[in-house]
Amino acid sequence: MRAHTGDALLVRGHHVGDHDRQAVIIEVHGTDGAPPYLVRWEDGHESVFFPSSDAFVERMPHREKAD
């Protein structure tokens, strides 16, 4: 898994009836976009996250610098 700061992270619920969890990646601690990631969850909580097979990264368009 590879990600960039600002990408969205989606974690599927583990059991029937569990809700999916969403977060924004605010720091990438691994080499070349690899985990672990510092993420901010929907409720504002921040944590270091090591994704497993139930997690997906949605790449967000990154703005280019204006001259």
Q: pLDDT tens, 20-58?
A: 999 999 999 999 999 999 999 999 999 999 999 889 998
Least trusted range by pLDDT, from 3-7, 31-35, 42-46, 60-64: 60-64
pLDDT band at 62; cut points 50, 70, 90: low
Q: What is the pTM of this model?
A: 0.79
Give the span between the Cα atoms of 51 and 2, in whole angstroms: 11
Predicted pLDDT at 23: 96
